Structure 1
Amino acid sequence: MGLSWKEQVFMALLGAAAVSGLTALILVLVEAVNVLLPTDTKFGIVFDAGSSHTSLFVYQWPADKENGTGVVSQALACQVEGPGISSYASDPAQAGESLQGCLEKALALIPEAQRRGTPLFLGATAGMRLLSQKNSSQAGDIFAAVTRVLGGSPVDFQGAELLGGQDEGAFGWITINYILELFIKYSFSGAWTRPLEGTLVGALDLGGASTQIAFMPGGPILDQSTQATFHLYGSSYSIYTHSYLCFGRDQMLSRLLAGLVQSHSAGLVRHPCYHSGYHTTLPLAPLYESPCVHPMAPQNLPQNLTVEGTGNPEACVAAIRELFNFSSCQGQRDCAFDGVYQPPLWGQFYAFSNFYYTFHFLNLTSRQPLGTANATVWEFCQRPWKLVVASYPGQDRWLRDYCACGLYILTLLTEGYGFSEETWPSIEFRKQVGGMDIGWTLGYMLNLTGMIPAEAPAQWRAESYSIWVAGVVFVVLTLVAILGAASVQLLWPQD
């Protein structure tokens, strides 16, 4: 006896449902592939407590890292209001309070669930190094005040401490080479590649109280005390780095003025680095508060000092050269100044911080020849003060010092570090590269990421779009067939 029409339709719909469902299952299981889900983002906060001001930077990187080191980008930069923390020696609590505004901006950027795992570090540079030499108790009080504020924040506070001059120079070197993608580079094929050997650049940093030079020499480093070694992205690097305390912009200007005080009559200084027509009276005692200047204090210190500018660049250069001890390197191989070892310069260099700010003002950041740079600075120094003020409205705070700073930079880079007419074009004066600030903080964070455990990206099963669409169609057909079979069984009248 054959099947009735109802039974035939019912069996056909069940068969279609089975075939369609089996096809959808095969598409899901056979065509699916493993895909990596986006990793979580890690954050890090660094305070750069310099001699003249403090800046905060927030960095971020994917949690899975690359060859053991984070691929870090800058997420926030915030300049703290007020002077550097070393200026709060008489009111240490204010040093900590001054950091609150930028810290709150950083916390607003970081998801609350990730704050406990976000490292926070404050590195104090040459300003606090000098205060520690002058009065270690006051420096300790400032660090304690800073620690109370930062330690009470909902992040992983790593400490507030003095950053060594060698570390400052070395981390600055890491920063610029990382930003220029000279450690690793993301290729068009979607893979990380290593650039050719020999492309790494040197770093020149001029702060308020110290200056640093760091580069990878073309030969061996003969003085091991000037060598710094890092392991980044699976490779090791050994570089030369040295920091000169008291040779930063602000301390240089103070030492220069103190030297002129010694060679002039009491109470009056004719300053060759100030423009002709410039005149001011200032208290003399604060000049000798810095350890860089204190040994030069005269016996009978007048209360006030009158300073008159003469606009004489030749005399200015002569006074600046007195700040260096060039004779200590006579007869020595591979020596910069003050008897400090330095291997021969090698490769390209990036000059930032006050190197950049001074030469940017003087319009000398376009790789002009050394002769042009000299002529430009000398011409600026010889302009009358009234003309300078009229030419640069609203910039009175720094105007008087650009002449001295320009000539100082030329002296430091040529007679100090040894750049010549031929090698001068190898210096690039920059503040940022690729939207990221050049300084030691990014290099510090890159080095720190090597100590933060990586997180493997999560895996998931997924299909291509076309396979996914086909799977959905067969699932729908399966459901339609099942519903049709159920309708036939329930609603079709008996034959």
Structure 2
Amino acid sequence: MISPRSSNYERLEGGMGPSRNASRTVPWKKIAIAATVLIGVVWLFSPGDTSASGWMPKTSDSDIDIDPLPPAYTEHKQPDADLAVPTTSAAAPSVRPTSYESDPDPSKTVYCTTPQNPSSPIVQYALMIDAGSTGSRIHIYKFHNCGASPTYEYEIFRQTKPGLSEYAGEPQGAAASLDVLLDAALAHVPPALRPCTPVAVKATAGLRSLGAEQSAEILGAVRQRLSTVYPFPIAEADGVVIMDGKDEGVYAWITANYLMNTIRADSPKGASAYAVLDLGGASTQIVFEPLFDASKPDSALLEGEHKYELQFGGRTHVLYQHSYLGYGLMRARKSVHRLVDFMGSLRTTKAHEETGNPCLARGTKRVVEVETETGTKKNVTMVGGDIGGFESCNRIIELVMAKDAICEVKPCSFDGVYQPSLLDTFPNGKILLLSYFYDRIHPLLPTPPPRLTISTIADFATDVCLGKPGWEKRWSGNTVALEELEDRPEYCLDLTFMHALLRLGYEFQDARDVEIGKQFEGTELGWALGAAIAMVGGELRCRA
């Protein structure tokens, strides 16, 4: 059904994005940025006191660099969408279980009493472990085989932190960190089905950044522990791997559009697939299905790694996808802090002086770790002060985005990456924002949530960057939002970066509607379900 691609992560840089040719190997922005910065120093950091006098110090923000995805959120339901209804002669049940708790018998299914294919089990479980940059998560999926292909029923989700990349040099410790997740699988998968329940561990951008040698040691230890301690068979193809960024994005696209009922064989005629934008800690992905005007010259998706042909639901989808390593939210923070520190060093030679950072909310302070050009690390005290603000922060982020990078194949989005114009090829399609987009925006929304546009994010960023006076003016009485913002100086940076990514990077219009999602009817959105569908749709081998 789906042909997963093999990993080629070794070609990706550890810095600000994937190269388009072999000569671009500098892991940080080109030295030419320094010239731009020198010009901007005077107007960007206009006269203003950068001392801490009268400013509220940060009290606690120790979790900010490894910011875990929240353990649970309220479902974000979309209209007129439902999960798969299998093709079977059995009558559809009046009550469909949507969770482990509502399932009358996890070893059976309510949809039929025998599988359509006698050689297939009536119930099939699959385990997908997402080894991300900020933590590891397990998705325990239940499928049934009442129809011609496995049909998804529900998910059990658990997570732990830190991620595997925090165990550099400790491969056995990395492998053991997954025990709490695999023990959850043992608790929920019926014993008789465990030998035929495939497990896959797919690491993403965080582990890529460790380099081939250290990441291979960790993955080897994980594979060894899975095969010797647990009863689940490791998936034959790409069972324990660093997942290619292209697969990460495409699988997220499959998950969302499968659940939203836009790409299945039983989807409504003319259903339009969502564009899916996923923002992780170390990387960000965009996947959409561009539509070209055949009457215009050169109106087709150019050949290249960005092109992904997918057979799904009886249709061929020609997708555009790109994964930007280095443009995840945590990496964006590091890049901004590093640039601010460099610019601050041009203004003073005094040791231990606090550095003004326009991307911290006004009245806040934070000690950040900055990596120097030589690879060493230092702690720098940064303050928002009177210079903090959306507009001034946006100027910094514009430099980080590398919008003016050389575009070898036009049109480009940012960092010199080819991308068909969204205005021309996806002018009216729906847009779904996942992961950190949801985590930062959702707590700030009122109840009921209003129409959400690109400009809404800019409006939020403007008030968040103003500090407490701005928070209390916009979110007066909204204790959830105020508690979310408290002691989070970089919320200003996060929202400003998100807006810049969408508006400047991808060139969505400010008035464009967007949707955010974390779960859909109890199922986590993201790449994991799409990868699991591919896994159970392939050849499965049980353990003896």
Relative to the length of structure 1, the TM-score reads 0.74
**Correspondence 1:258-273 to 2 at 5 A:** 258-265=338-345, 267=352, 268-273=354-359
Contact 1:362/1:377, CA 8 A, preserved across alignment: no
Match of 1:337 in 2: 414
Following the alignment from structure 2 to structure 1, what is the Cα–Cα distance between the partners of residues 144 and 315?
A: 20
Are residue 421 (structure 1) and residue 510 (structure 2) matched? yes
Following the alignment from structure 2 to structure 1, what is the Cα–Cα distance between the partners of residues 438 and 468?
A: 24
Are residue 403 (structure 1) and residue 492 (structure 2) matched? yes
Are residue 203 (structure 1) and residue 276 (structure 2) matched? yes
Q: Which amino acid aligns with 1:142?
A: I
Match of 2:366 in 1: 280
1:341-373 C-alpha deviation (Å, 9 max, x unpaired): 111221111101001111113328643344443
Q: Which of 434, 440, 444 in structure 1 is aligned with 2:521? A: 434
Measured at CA, do residues 218 and 277 of structure 1 come closer, stay the same or move farther in structure 2, by a change above 3 Å? same
**Correspondence 1:446-461 to 2 at 5 A:** 446-452=533-539
Match of 2:225 in 1: 149
Measured at CA, do residues 74 and 308 of structure 1 come closer, stay the same or move farther in structure 2, by a change above 3 Å? same
1:207 to partner: Cα distance: 0.1
Are residue 354 (structure 1) and residue 436 (structure 2) matched? yes
1:443 to partner: Cα distance: 0.5
2:134 counterpart SS class: coil
**Correspondence 1:124-139 to 2 at 5 A:** 124-132=203-211, 136-139=212-215
Residue ranges of structure 2 left out of the alignment (5+ in a row)? 1-88, 92-111, 116-121, 293-299
Measured at CA, do residues 444 and 330 of structure 1 come closer, stay the same or move farther in structure 2, by a change above 3 Å? closer
1:120 to partner: Cα distance: 0.2
| Higher-strand-fraction structure | 1
**Correspondence 1:205-220 to 2 at 5 A:** 205-219=278-292, 220=300
Match of 2:382 in 1: 307
1:327 counterpart SS class: coil
1:34 to partner: Cα distance: 11
Relative to the length of structure 2, the TM-score reads 0.67
1:297-320 C-alpha deviation (Å, 9 max, x unpaired): 246968432211132222110011
Percentage identity across paired residues of the two chains: 28
Contact 2:407/2:418, CA 8 A, preserved across alignment: no
Following the alignment from structure 2 to structure 1, what is the Cα–Cα distance between the partners of residues 254 and 196?
A: 24
| Higher-helix-fraction structure | 1
Measured at CA, do residues 371 and 304 of structure 1 come closer, stay the same or move farther in structure 2, by a change above 3 Å? closer
Are residue 240 (structure 1) and residue 332 (structure 2) matched? no
**Correspondence 1:105-184 to 2 at 5 A:** 105-132=184-211, 136-152=212-228, 153-158=230-235, 159-184=239-264
Measured at CA, do residues 344 and 94 of structure 1 come closer, stay the same or move farther in structure 2, by a change above 3 Å? same
Following the alignment from structure 2 to structure 1, what is the Cα–Cα distance between the partners of residues 420 and 279?
A: 20
Q: Tell me the number of residue pairs that the alignment of Structure 1 and Structure 2 aligns.
A: 396
1:394 to partner: Cα distance: 5.9
2:434 counterpart SS class: strand
Following the alignment from structure 2 to structure 1, what is the Cα–Cα distance between the partners of residues 381 and 267?
A: 58
1:321-342 C-alpha deviation (Å, 9 max, x unpaired): 1111212367964210111111
1:326 counterpart SS class: coil
Q: Report 1 or 2 for greater relative contact order, CA contacts < 8 Å, sequence distance ≥ 6.
A: 1
1:44 to partner: Cα distance: 0.3
Contact 1:276/1:385, CA 8 A, preserved across alignment: no
1:90 counterpart SS class: coil
Match of 1:253 in 2: 333
Match of 2:76 in 1: none
Following the alignment from structure 1 to structure 2, what is the Cα–Cα distance between the partners of residues 370 and 412?
A: 10
Q: Which amino acid aligns with 1:171?
A: Y
Following the alignment from structure 2 to structure 1, what is the Cα–Cα distance between the partners of residues 258 and 375?
A: 52
Q: Which amino acid aligns with 2:538?
A: M
Q: Which amino acid aligns with 1:117?
A: C
Greater Rg by CA: 1
1:260-290 C-alpha deviation (Å, 9 max, x unpaired): 11111364321111122222334x4xx32xx
Q: Which amino acid aligns with 2:344?
A: H
Residue ranges of structure 1 left out of the alignment (5+ in a row)? 1-32, 185-191, 289-296, 455-495
Give me the CA root mean square deviation: 2.9
**Correspondence 1:33-72 to 2 at 5 A:** 37-39=113-115, 40-66=122-148, 69-72=149-152
Q: Which amino acid aligns with 2:356?
A: R
Measured at CA, do residues 304 and 200 of structure 1 come closer, stay the same or move farther in structure 2, by a change above 3 Å? closer
